[in-house]
Structure 1
Amino acid sequence: MNERATAALATIEDHRNVTDLLVRRADKAPAHAAFDVPTGDPVRPWAAVTTAEFLAEVRGVAKGLIAAGLGAGDSVAIMGPSRYGWAVADLAVWFAGGVVVPVYDTASADQAAAIAADAGVRVGIGGGEREAEMLRDAIGRVRTGLGVRTMDAGERDLAALAAAGSGIVDAELERRRTHAGPDDPATIVYTSGTTGEPKGAVLTHSNFVGQVRNIAAAYRDVVHEGGNTVIFLPLAHVLARGLQLICLASGMRIAHVSDTAQVVPSLAELRPTFLVVVPRVLERIREAAAKRAAAAHLGPVWRSTMRTAIAVGRVREEGRVPGAGLRIRHAAFDRLFFRRLRTLMGGRLAYILSGGGALDPHLSLLFRGLEVPVIEGYGLTETTAPLTGNLPRDIRSGTVGFPLPGSAVRISDAGEILARGVGVFAGYRDRRHTAEAFVGGWFRTGDLGRLDADGRVILEGRLKDVVVTSTGKTVVPHAWEARVTSSPLVAHAVVVGEARSSLSALLVLDPDGLAEWSGHAPAAPRTGAVTEVADADLRAHLQPLVDAANARVSGAEQVRRVALVSVDLADPALITPTMKIKRRELLSRAATVVDALYR
């Protein structure tokens, strides 16, 4: 089997563009709570915003954009951390007939300027004054803009923009709202560029509407009016924006938390029924639980707990009932550990969706054993987020599931995953990039994978990460790297050896894990620097992990030497907003370290 397709569950012909999703939801349930927004009041920290109230704010800001001179089809850059104002600005641009250009709040001034120039940005909306100033500079470098506004309160905030648009009549707003058709651009999203320069992917209104309608139909057990979620992934990423639209259209209440220190406290307050995370978040939850157990001198008990949870998860995944002994152990550990972990996550979580990278199958089984199943999915910016996904009642750890409704995947002769369907984008801004990205009408994802006997997709790494040694051996390093990064001490592992006689690897150390292991905080690395860490005890501690990873691959795929390195994990030029490392950039900076591995 090298191809699998799933029929669409919903039609989109009756929707002209994305704004119809909000208009129809407001018509159906205007008084339903659509958002929870922070109040700043410690007694009542969150307040509900109804769908009708949200629509009114969106319409007001859209009128302000029209009054400011924004034309139909003009681009608006939004830059800032995830928050309610981001959602208002996003929908308001569409209501005004514009095209949204998200900019990560971690972007550098040069990155923001390059995006503004390529997308032809006319208006900027920043979270605060820092982002607003960066957008002013970015837009000003290439053209005379129409102004920059802030989500933070101030003289030029969104409320002031809405007030300036009070003279725009409803008929004019409705004309603008319905200007864009299904095949018109809704947004231009610049890829994070883990293996090359960012490219502007043009996503249409039909891409978003098709995804929202079909995914909502496939995941009714997860996304529903009685549920709520907390979005802490950056809204500049298409996964978070797609999730927001799905929840908004389905009546699922949304809260935003951008401060990572506030994520866990917010879960206890908001008690979400569903979360979307990247794999590293789940890894950190496991590490935090292990740390607490060790501090209470319960390390061996926690390890037994994990083994029990994984065993229960595996049995349930196979559709069987755990035996009496396993049930007894699970019940005991539930009282000791599992309930506390579920309470830490709010106590109501029915499902977690993991995306943005491959998930360790054992971690998936662990959370299933904890009574919080993880639905792993796979997609890219160019597929308007999810392309494949496990289903709530049909989860298989180690896979990213079947193609989602309205989508199809094919595995090429070279092992590359090809895609087509409702979410596959119209192309890049640069037509040359578009021509390179398609073959026979299928989008080339750049990811390697295969289909299991049932047609589920199993990821096997990135095509551009493949290493060809001087002996002619082609190596896909994903499995080795995933094994090594299971350690809390290793944030990233990068296998090297292109045109070399053997393989080596750079192990990028995790400062939090290193601090826990050593008992003291490591020295902060300089931005832009790759510093080799020469610590014999640390190397000895990690060697069994390297040996275990080598034991799982063939002799030609084994890593002979490793270098432990420290980098600034907050450097946006090196780490993507979804916490993936930019391999090409790392290898460029670490050229001297790599060369030393082969002397």
Structure 2
Amino acid sequence: MRETSGPAAASLDDHRNATDLLARRVAAAPEHVAFEVRPGAADGAWRPVTTAQFYDEVVGLAKGFVAAGLAPGDAVAVMAPTRYEWALVDMAAWFAGAVVVPVYETSAPAQVSAIVADAQVRLGVGGGAEHVALLAGALAAQERTTLGVWSMDASAGADLAALVEHGASVMAEALEARRRVADLDSVATIVYTSGTTADPRGAILTHRNLVGQVLNVAAAYGDVVREDGSTIIFLPLAHVLARGLQLVCLASGMRIAHLSDPKDVVPSLAVLRPTFLVVVPRVLQKIQAAAGSAAAEKHLGPVWAAAQRAAVEQGRGAERGDAPSWSLRLRHRVFDALFYRRLRALMGGRIGFLLSGAASLDAELALFFRGIGVPVLEGYGLTETTAPLTGNLPQDMRAGSVGVPLPGTTVRISDDGEVLARGTGVFVGYRDADATAQAFVDGFFRTGDLGSLDDAGHLTLSGRLKDVVTTSGGKTVAPATWELSVENHPLVAHAMLVGENKPYLGGVVVLDPEAVAARDADGAAALPAVPAPDGVPVEVDDVRVRSVVEAAVEAANAQVARSEQVRRFAVVLADLTVAGGLVTPTMKLKRAELAARAQAIIENLYAESRAGS
């Protein structure tokens, strides 16, 4: 059993609860720009919102919550896309002494009803008419008295402006008393896990969890989260990572812009010019693939391949602290003029760091971005750890690793290889007592992830404990290495190793239809239609597509032991929208769901072995 810790870097003693993060910031820098907001004007212009303006809006809305009858400890459900009003409602609810319950905007009616019932929600805020209707229906089904649903969009008598007007008579002293009701050990939010392996469970996070993470993360990443910096949040604010980032930036003075549609991010980069972005690995893969496609159109494919190798070499040398050779310096200068500079400009030209989370990042991809001058800080965390548990630091980056325990956190590796965690961000438990009892061992949270610690305390993940595949011959395989290698191909969205109780390993490779279309219009035209939501994946037999995927599979097989190699694989198309039910809102694959829908396809991989038995 191995263990390592990150000493706490901040004291929480002078903070009452999470609202102090804003109260202290507005006292220190009221006129500093906290947000850039695009209110839907025809010209698409962004307007600045200072910390003082945000604070005043929070106070006004919090008074509205109080006037509506919200009591300390009551739960407020928020269901909306990522937008400025999300931040406003989140903080205002805490000012009113409430508990915030985020609901993914893509949630089905049954999921909304289950969350509202389990969390005992009393009041709802929806992004627009559809979200308001879902929350209203769920609240109406409750036996207890509820307080209605308000809309972030303009809605006669039932929007946030009406709620603010409703609270105009609430005195400032009364609100200040309400703001201070919660202490650090009070419940701040109940976050329902996105459910990759099981039904969503409500994780209880306290004000101590949030404040502790904000202060310690800000201390660890002072070079990244700065007053003169800015970021764009486009991940779902119902996810704890995006909300945690928002609080860290708000408390540290880093300007925030929100985008509800990830497709709007790239066009907005040149306007907003962020210094820092949080992304998922698939975004980085697509940026690299798009550059490759553009080079191929200009008949520069071989030159781009050399540029990629040079960037990885540059990144690897920087990681080791080696000075580049004269040859590498020359190649890097040439490729910078041809490619790297344009990639940095595409990302706004000011990004100092990217943070990659939510899924494993290929080491060579991380080295590539470091080599072009945009270092990627890979981190690791869960809802139950209030987002970041470990992270690569600007001064200590290891590609392929998810970094060291962040300040105030201890990571332990159990005898069976499971990552265990204890510290300031680790939650107090689930709403379900039995689930809580199963989630802890010796005071440590069981993450369910497999990993190892090196001598310097860097954590490397190797898969999920429940995802291991055991063949009929008794060989147990962790699929992460093979899957990640296949997923690095730009045409592949997801890969899943299969073969439980089978004579050999198989694979299901899910295509990214947009990437296929961008690469080969003729090949894309030969593909079957993407299935409707909840539909069965469709197998692809196009020779050209299969040959490309086969090369990716062979490359992945070369990285693992012979007994861990895939013998047969299927290439499929599936609905990869969140509504389709195969991925979480952070685009992680729901393995059990894919296995269930593709059961016939998977069984066909073993038809020959059955025929010969």
Question: TM-score interval w.r.t. the shorter chain?
Answer: over 0.9
Q: What is the Cα deviation at residue 260 of structure 1?
A: 2.2
1:145 CA displacement = 2.2
Report if the CA contact (8 A) 2:206-2:427 is conserved: yes
Q: CA deviation at 1:211?
A: 0.3
- Mapped contact 1:528–1:567 kept (Cα < 8 A): no
Corresponding residue to 1:468 among 464, 467, 470:
470
Contact 2:469/2:500 (<8 A) preserved: yes
Instruction: Work out whether residues 36 and 47 of structure 2, in 8 Å CA contact, stay in contact via their aligned partners in 1.
Output: yes
Tell me the amino acid that sits aligned with residue 103 of structure 1: V
Equivalent AA in structure 2 for residue 125 of structure 1 = V
Post-superposition offset of 1:596 = 1.4
Q: Which residue of 2 aligns with 1:587?
A: 595
Counterpart amino acid of residue 591 in structure 1: Q
Q: CA deviation at 1:40?
A: 3.8
Residue 120 in structure 1 maps to residue 120 in structure 2: yes
* 1:453 aligns to 2:488 (yes or no): no
Residue 492 to residue 44, structure 1, CA distance change in 2 (3 Å): closer
- 1:563 aligned residue (548, 566, 570): 570
Partner SS, residue 553 of structure 2:
helix
Unaligned runs of 5+ in 1: none
| TM-superposed deviation, 1:43 | 5.4
Residue identity opposite 2:532 in structure 1: R
Q: CA shift at 1:374, angstroms?
A: 0.5
1:590 maps to amino acid: A
Cα contact 1:375–1:392 (8 A) shared by 2 = yes
**How many Å separate the matches in 1 of 2:216 and 2:578?**
36
Structure 2 residue 540 is matched with structure 1 residue 533: yes
Distance across 2 between alignment mates of 1:490 and 1:173: 52
How many Å apart are 1:42 and its aligned residue? 6.0
Pair 1:575 & 2:583 matched: yes
SS at 2:451 equivalent:
strand
Per the TM alignment, residue 142 of structure 1 is displaced from its structure 2 partner at its CA by 2.0
Q: What is the alpha-carbon distance in structure 2 between the residues aligned to residue 178 and residue 413 of structure 1?
A: 44
Instruction: Choose 521-530 or 370-379, whichever is displaced more.
Output: 521-530
Find the aligned partners of 1:454 and 1:382 in 2 and give their Cα distance. Answer: 25
Deviation at 1:517, TM superposition (A): 3.7
Match of 2:19 in 1: 19
Note the C-alpha offset of 1:44. Answer: 6.8
Aligned to 2:291: 289
**Contact kept in structure 2, 1:79 and 1:127, CA below 8 Å:** yes
* 1:414 equivalenced with 2:416 (yes/no): yes
Note if contact 2:351-2:374 (Cα within 8 Å) is conserved in structure 1.
yes
- Residue in structure 2 matched with residue 83 of structure 1 by the alignment: 83
Deviations 1:100-144 (A, max 9, x none): 000111111111111111111111111111111111112112244
Q: Is 1:367 the equivalent of 2:369?
A: yes
Closer, same or farther: CA 289–103 of 1 in aligned 2, 3 Å: same
Q: Distance in 2 between matches of 1:562 and 1:117?
A: 42
Aligned to 2:360, what secondary structure does the other structure show?
coil
CA drift of 1:292 comes to 1.2
The equivalent of 1:516 in structure 2 is 518
Q: Deviations over 1:283-302 (max 9, x none)?
A: 11111111111122211111
Instruction: Report SS of the residue matched to 1:124.
Output: strand
Q: Classify the secondary structure of the residue corresponding to 1:327.
A: helix
**Structure-to-structure mapping, 1:33-432, within 5 angstroms:** 33-41=33-41, 45-143=45-143, 144-155=145-156, 156-432=158-434
Map of 1:7 onto structure 2: 7
Correspondence for 2:611: none
Please provide the CA RMSD for this pair. 1.2
Match of 2:435, SS state, is: helix
CA displacement 1:236-258 (0-9 Å, x = unmatched): 00000000000000011100011
Q: What's the offset of the Cα at 1:535? A: 2.1
Deviation at 1:475? Answer: 0.6
Tell me if structure 1 keeps the 8 A contact 2:530–2:538.
no
Within 2, Cα distance between the matches of 1:435 and 1:21?
Answer: 32
CA deviation profile, 1:148-187 (whole Å, cap 9, x unmatched):
1111122211111011011111121112111111111100
Matches within 5 A, 1:534-549: 534-549=541-556
Q: 1:220 is paired with a residue of what secondary structure?
A: coil
Partners of 2:541 and 2:293 in 1: how far apart? 25
Q: Secondary structure at the match of 2:212?
A: helix
Tell me which amino acid in the other structure corresponds to 1:49.
Answer: V
**Distance in 1 of aligned mates of 2:555 and 2:166:** 64
* 1:201 CA displacement: 0.3
- The 1-side partners of 2:124 and 2:39 are apart by 25
Conserved 8 A contact 1:31-1:52: yes
- Which residue, 439, 442, 445 being the options, matches 2:441? 439
Letter in 2 for 1:489: L
Q: What amino acid is the match of 2:150?
A: R
With the length of structure 2 as denominator, give the TM-score of the two structures.
0.96
Query: Separation in 2 of the partners of 1:211 and 1:259?
Result: 27
1:467 and 1:496 in contact (8 A); partners too: yes
Correspondence for 2:488 among 473, 486, 489: 486
Distance 1:274 1:386 in 2: 16
| CA distance in structure 2 between the aligned counterparts of 1:314 and 1:436, rounded to whole angstroms | 41
Q: Deviations over 1:217-275 (max 9, x none)?
A: 11110011111111011100000000000000001110001122211111110100111
Amino acid corresponding to residue 557 of structure 1 in structure 2: E
For residues 591 and 442 of structure 2, what CA distance do their matches in structure 1 show?
Answer: 29
Equivalenced residue count is: 599
> Which letter maps to 1:87?
A
Aligned residues with identical type, % of pairs: 58
Name the counterpart of 2:610.
none
The alpha-carbon deviation at position 595 of structure 1 amounts to 1.4
Deviates more, 1:70-79 or 1:535-544: 535-544
Q: Is the 8 A contact 1:228 1:252 kept in 2?
A: yes
Letter in 1 for 2:149: V
Structure 1 residue identity aligned to 2:604: A
C-alpha distance in 2 between matches for 1:334 and 1:564: 36
**Please, which moves more after superposition, 516-525 or 60-69?**
516-525
Indicate if the aligned counterparts of 2:9 and 2:219 stay in contact, CA closer than 8 A: yes
CA offsets 1:337-394 (integer angstroms, 9 cap, x no match): 1111111111110111111111000111001111111111100000000000011121
**Structure 2 unaligned blocks of 5 or more:** 608-613
Report the AA paired with residue 439 of structure 2: A
Matched letter for residue 151 of structure 2: T
* Deviation per residue, 1:181-202 (Å, 9 max, x gap): 1111100000011111111000
How big is each residue's C-alpha offset from its partner over 1:373-421, in whole Å with a ceiling of 9 and x where there is no partner?
Answer: 1111100000000000011121110101110000010000110000000
Distance 1:163 1:15 in 2: 30
Q: CA contact under 8 A between 2:400 and 2:460: conserved in structure 1? A: yes
Quote the offset at 1:534 in angstroms: 2.1
Residue 541 of structure 1: how far off its partner (Å): 2.3
Does the residue aligned with 1:528 lie in a helix, a strand or coil? coil
